[in-house]
Structures are given as structure tokens and as C-alpha cells.
Amino acid sequence: MSAVLEKARPAIDLNGRISIYQPEQEGLIYPELPVFASHAEHRQHLKERLVAACRAFALQGFDYGFAGHLTVRDPEHPGVYWTNPMAVHFSQVKVSNLILADHDGRVVEGRHAVNRAGFVLHAAVHEAHPDIVAMCHAHTVHGTAFAALGKPLEPISQDAAAFFEDHVVIGDEAGQVAVEVKAGHKVANAFRGVKAAIHQNHGLLTASRHSIEAAAFWFIALERCCQQQMMVEATGIKPRLVTEERARYSREHVGSEYIGWLHFQAIWDQLAATQPDMLD
Ligand SMILES: [Zn+2]
């Protein structure tokens, strides 16, 4: 198994299994973590999943003009990242129009420009945290609205508990477009030991130490949790929260990197069947 994917095991004894969802009964159809024979094979896999993450974001309506960027670290050269091309709709991203950029935002492979503002944030986080292999960011409706509140998500559901003590609210540089490198460093400093960040007055960010699939799924989940918390708050009725102890238990079992990867497998299968042009 790849060293990158190996890191994601939760600190719970499951008799050798990665997750409670992994079947103990043998012979059943169930997604398996990929194994790669070469960097080239691993790279092709990462590029295909990065494209699928972009297509999934399009289906979720996460596009806002040219805003929004997803990155995945190259498996052979960890100082460069595959990312979506500037000013190409998420629904039109494909393997052949991805670009590879370095820490400074210089495009080292591909014909399209890089999104300067987005890359400053992503490159700073990737550079400060060598274990972070993938990141997602977009200006979504509910995430951006929730980010204006400048507060963390509460564990109002089992799904929201996946983010309990596993996200931060970043107030630095709030609302000012991050085109300068120092703005990226402030975000990178705040992004420690968590899988998600709510950037005040800006939008959502997710990072994964496991895979682009996990980063993308937890981004989709985070946007949904922001929407649900605002729906609950709009009722004016104080919600009953999951207790801290239960929220931590749920986060360990259903909020892990592996679980994010596992959730994404259903999305991958649907996209592979309906949007085969993504692999062009
Ligand atoms: Zn942004």
C-alpha cells in the first residue's frame, strides 16, 4: 500500500481493520485502497481523482466564476502540485487540462494559467505541512455565509460531529483576497492538526493527509454542515447537541480520512459511469 494512504488509520483497535465499515466477512464487494507499482501509475490515479473531485464540485454547484481550487501533491516530487486550470469551469476540468505548479505558483507542466489567489493559500499550507497531500477550496453559498459568523460548527448531528475538534475558524486576513504570500502563511499557521478550516468572510478549506478523495468529500460534508446549522439556527429553537464524548467517538469512527476516502468511492463510480470524458 502507498505510504501516503497508509497514514490514515485511526487510533482505535478494530482487530486490524481500518474502519468499522470494513466487512469482516470475506468475498463481498467493497472498495479497496489502491496499490501502485510505480510513481507514474500513482500520478495517473491522483490526476483522475482530482478531476473527479472537480466534477463532483460542479454537480454540487460549488462553482463561482473562476474561484475555487483543488490541489494534490505529486507522489514523486512533493514540492509540486497538480491543480485545476484557471478560469475553467469545474465541469470542464479533465486529465488533459490539469496543471502542475510549484510552491511559487510557477506552472511547470500544462498550458493553462494557475489561479494566483488560490495558489498562495494552498502552496503556503502544503509547504508548512509536508504531511498534507491534498486541499480543496471554493466559494460556496452556505460555507461562505456561515464563515461570516466567525464561529465554529457545533455538533448538531452525527455528520457534524465529524468536524468536532477537527476544524478551525481563521480570522486573519478576513475578507481580503489572499494574493500576497504573507496572507497564505497566516492561514497555514492556523491549519494545524485539523482537516478543515472556515476562513472568515471568505469560504471553506479542507486538507487531507490521506487523499484528494478525502479532502473533496470532507469539503462537500462541511458545506452541508454549514447549511444544516444555519437551517437549525433559523428556527430560533436551541438545538440539542451531541455530547462532547459522543461527538469525539463519532468523529473517530465516521470522521476519519479513510471514511472520507470511502464516501468518495460512490461519487467516483457515479462520475466514471456518467462523465467518461473527464479522463480525456
Ligand atoms: Zn477564495
Cα(173) to centroid of ligand 1, in Å?
12
Cα(27) to centroid of ligand 1, in Å?
44
Alpha carbons 219 and 221: distance in angstroms, whole number: 5
Ramachandran region of residue 87, left (φ > 0), alpha (ψ -120 to 50) or beta?
left
Cα(139) to centroid of ligand 1, in Å?
6
Amino acid letter for position 162: A
Cα(200) to centroid of ligand 1, in Å?
11
Give the ranges where 70-132 is alpha helix by DSSP (H): 116-128
pTM: predicted TM-score of the whole model, two decimal places: 0.93
Please write the tens of the pLDDT for every residue from 174-210.
666 655 667 788 889 888 999 999 999 999 999 999 9
Please write the tens of the pLDDT for every residue from 28-49.
999 999 999 999 999 999 999 9
Which domains occur in the chain, in start order? Answer: 34-279 (3.40.225.10)
Amino acid letter for position 126: H
How many residues in total does the chain contain?
A: 280
Cα(201) to centroid of ligand 1, in Å?
10
Cα(122) to centroid of ligand 1, in Å?
10
Backbone angles phi, psi at 186, to 5 degrees: -65, -40
Round the average pLDDT of the chain to a whole number and report it.
Answer: 91
Q: What is the DSSP string of 21-86?
A: TS-SSTT---------SSHHHHHHHHHHHHHHHHHHHHHTT--BTTB-EEEEE-SS-TTEEEEPPT
Cα(40) to centroid of ligand 1, in Å?
31
Cα(168) to centroid of ligand 1, in Å?
16
